[in-house]
Structure 1
Amino acid sequence: MTASRWATIYAALAAVMGAVLAALCWAVPVKDGAKDWVAPLIPGGWMAWTFPIALFFWVIACLLIVMTLLAIRWPETPRVGILRIETTRGDRLFITLLGSALIHLIWLYFIGSLGWPPMLICLGYAIVVFWLV
């Protein structure tokens, strides 16, 4: 494929994912004239679909799309890192997601509330995993 065709594909996917994010932001309920970001998006629904939970799944979908495009555009070859096992980009993403969940659970256990610090720790962890593993 030509570079202009890839640019079109990237732009189309970015537009679709941007539209999905805009729809999520639009669906946030308004309470007393202000958006209630942690209120259920579907009142009385079977699952507590709040904006942060929907945003989490949106980010995972974006990661999967990016990883798929990377695998199509630049086919990967497994590499051996610090763990002495062969890993691909997808393997390293999976290791990062599992480790990030563990970091957040440990943070919740010892600190009790989430915020930016565990997110920044997970970002550093992701950089280390993709660089060394």
Structure 2
Amino acid sequence: MSETAKSDLTRKQNIAFAAMIVPWVLVGIYVFFQIPRDEGEILWTESLNPGGWMAWVFPTATFFWVVAGILIAFSILAIRFPETPKRGILGIETTRGDRLFISLLIAGFLNLAWLGLEIGPQYLALVVSLVIAGGIFRYA
């Protein structure tokens, strides 16, 4: 492939990446400005859409926004740095996407169990989930 063709491909990839990232950032800004406020105080758990069909609150919207950002980042990584599956301690061949999916499943179940068993503050479940995800990405 010639240098011109490589630079043209890189330019097209950068445009595609911007087309994914810019709307994601704009949605995050929009949601942030939808947080209900009362006399300057932020009401974190009030509905972002009062009277709507679903009770979206800022923490829930933020969670889905972060997951969308992770998926965008992994899409960009898959295009920029293709990988071959590797076999780790799980005994199966996994790619980055597989390890992300496994990490998200474990984090979801861990957080639900943490909440249901009333183990402690919920942010500690997030910390444990991040440590487990780090282990999965390193060793799985």
Identity rate of aligned residues, in percent?
41
Indicate the residue corresponding to 2:83 in structure 1: 76
* Larger Rg computed on CA atoms: 2
1:6-85 → structure 2 map (5 Å cutoff):
13-85=20-92
State the TM-score, normalized to the length of structure 1: 0.87
1:110-121 → structure 2 map (5 Å cutoff):
110-111=117-118, 114-121=121-128
CA contact (8 A) 1:28 1:37 kept: yes
Distance 1:15 1:71 in 2: 19
Per-residue Cα deviation, 1:42-89 (whole angstroms, up to 9, x for no partner): 101111111111101101110110111111111121111101101111
Give unpaired runs (5+ residues) of structure 1.
none
Give unpaired runs (5+ residues) of structure 2.
1-5
1:97-112 → structure 2 map (5 Å cutoff):
97-111=104-118
Distance 1:25 1:9 in 2: 25
Count matched residues: 133
State the TM-score, normalized to the length of structure 2: 0.83
Distance 2:105 2:111 in 1: 10
RMSD: 2.1
